[in-house]
Every structure is written in C-alpha cells, then in structure tokens.
Amino acid sequence: MGSADGERVGRTAQTSLYVSHFHSRSSMAWLEEAEDWKTPGAVFSDLNWPGACIPSSDKENPWVLRKTEQPASPPSRTPEQRLAAPWAAQHPLPEAEGPVEEHCLEQVQTMVVEEVLRDVNTACKLLSIPPDPLDWSCVQVQKWLLWTEHQYRLPQTSALFQEMCGRDLCFLTEADFKQRCSQFGGTLFAHLDIWRSGGMFDEAPWLDVKSNYPNQPIQLWQFLRELLLKPHSYSRCIRWLNKDKGIFKIEDSAHVARLWGIRKNRPAMNYDKLSRSIRQYYKKGIIRKPEVSGRLIYQFVIPV
C-alpha cells in the first residue's frame, strides 16, 4: 500500500522511545515521589493547572503497586494479537548495540510495548483523559502536555499549543512540532505517536492504524472507521452491525456524507458521490458488500 515516510519515521521514533522508556523503568517516579498525590491538584499545584483533577481512590492504585515491580509478568496476559503490531515486527532497533537475536528482540519489544501501554492506561485514569488523542479537548491537550513534560523532564511547552484540541494536535506533523519547540518537538511528537497508536490493541485486525496518520489526507475508509469507533458521537448516523466481521450500516446517509464533505472541505458532497467512492473500494479489496447484504450496508475486508 502507501509508503508513507512520515509513517516510518513515526514508527521508528516510537520504537526508540519504547526502548528509552524501558530503560527508565519508573516513569511514574515523579508522581510516586509526590507524597500528597492523592490530594486532587496537589501534584500539579505548582503548575497553576486549573483543570487538575486527579481521581482520588480509597483503594490501592495500580501504578503504586507497580512500585514493587511486576514479578516477571509473563506475556500470557496478552493475547497473541496484541503482539502482532506490524511496526513491532518489521522494524529492527537501530539503536540496539551489538548483535541481538531476533526473537529475543521481539520479546523485549513485547515487554516494552506492554509496559508503555500500561503507563498510558494509568495516565489516562490519573489525568481523566480519553486514551485517543483525537478525543481530547483543549484542556485535555494541556493536561497531556504537562504530564509528558514532567514525566520526561521536557521544558515547558504547553503554552505553544494553546487553543488546540486533540484533533488539531494530531494533525500537526513532526516538523510542526519541531518548529514549535525545537529539539524537544520530535520527542513530543513521538510520545503523541505512542498514544495515537494505543487504540489499535483493542481493535479488530482489519482496523489497521498504519494509515492513521495526519500527514497525508484522510481516506474515506479511514474516515468511516473513525466515525464507527466513536459510537457515542456517531452511532445515530453510522454503526456496526457486526464489529468482528467489520460489517457496518449507514443509518443516515445524508449526515455521513455531510460529515465527509466537511472533513474534505467539499460542501457539495452527498451520498451519491460518497457511495461511488465506497464502490471504488470493491475492486481494491478494502470494502465490499457483505454476503447478507442490504441497503446502506457495507463490510470492511479483513486483510490477510
């Protein structure tokens, strides 16, 4: 398919970040050191953070337990599909010094990915932000920035991303990040990249993130997937009939077409034209009509 340079760059940046993260085990250390972390806003009190909302729990916190370090948690807790991340399988570590066995490398990457994803999860709970950066509000973007700055000892850059919601942030390229905050922009971009890819582990196999990058214009099938993955917002106009098989139904063709037109800045878009584009996918093997078909019902083709 498309050979996106930005994609490869992003993946590489991810990998190197995973490794650096792996080497600095206690990424939550700065929080653990904060004694009054359970007091809402205490940890971030020095940040003048208006939206600081740290969930206080009477029970033990998962990341506090991590302090005892996971007893060699076997990868059995994660299904094999989680390890089938294409970027993890395809890209060797350029930073890896010395000859390392490939299967060993895979194991390391697996552990690193699991570790990072756990941290992302706990960060979500702690910051009260959704896992998908596309869903972030302006305030949540600021939360994430402050969090990342603290966690990785980056200089304060949040002011450079004022007034930006998650979608805005995701549409920035790596160059944009570097332009805004020089040498740390790339790091920040890579961290965002990790969050952006986090969602894939819960998705069906045909929901490939590899084309989920903002650099190139979004494609129709990606857009449809986006809507489908946000049922809270769009289930009234498009929804799954069978998520496992990738079968979905457009409930409000005019509305979906309007959304597509807005996204592509094509005010004259309608379902007639949108559906023509969908039909183009038949030949490409991206979308098809399911066996038990019907009006406004389509199916994502599961890639081999």
Partner DNA sequence: AATAAGGATCGAA
Partner DNA sequence: TTCGATCCTTATT
Binding string, 35-54, against DNA, x = CB under 7 A?
Answer: --------------------
DSSP of 73-116 = --GGGS-GGGGG-HHHHH---TT--S---HHHHHHHHHHHHHHH
Q: How far is the CB of 148 from DNA (least distance, A)?
A: 30
Binding string, 236-275, against DNA, x = CB under 7 A?
Answer: -----------------xx-----xx--x-x-xx-xxxxx
Asked if residue 57 binds DNA (CB under 7 A), the reply is no
Rounded to the nearest 10 degrees, how much is the dihedral formed by the CA atoms of 240, 241, 246, 248?
-60
Asked if residue 295 binds DNA (CB under 7 A), the reply is yes
Per-residue burial over 220-245, b if 16 or more Cβ lie within 10 Å, else e, is: bbbbbbbbbbeeeebeebbebeebee
Binding residue for DNA, selected from 189, 221, 248, 300, defined by CB under 7 A: 221
**The dihedral sign for the CA sequence 208, 184, 18, 72:** negative
Asked if residue 284 binds DNA (CB under 7 A), the reply is yes
By rule CB under 7 A, what count of residues binds DNA? 32
**The dihedral sign for the CA sequence 226, 196, 154, 67:** positive
Binding residue for DNA, selected from 52, 108, 296, 301, defined by CB under 7 A: 296
**Options 14-22, 66-74, 88-96, 276-284: segment touching DNA (CB under 7 A):** 276-284
Asked if residue 63 binds DNA (CB under 7 A), the reply is no
User: In angstroms, rounded to a whole number, what is the distance separating the alpha carbons of residues 7 and 3?
Assistant: 8
* Sites of contact with DNA (CB under 7 A): 1-2, 216-217, 219-221, 253-254, 260-261, 264, 266, 268-269, 271-277, 279-280, 282, 284, 289, 293-297
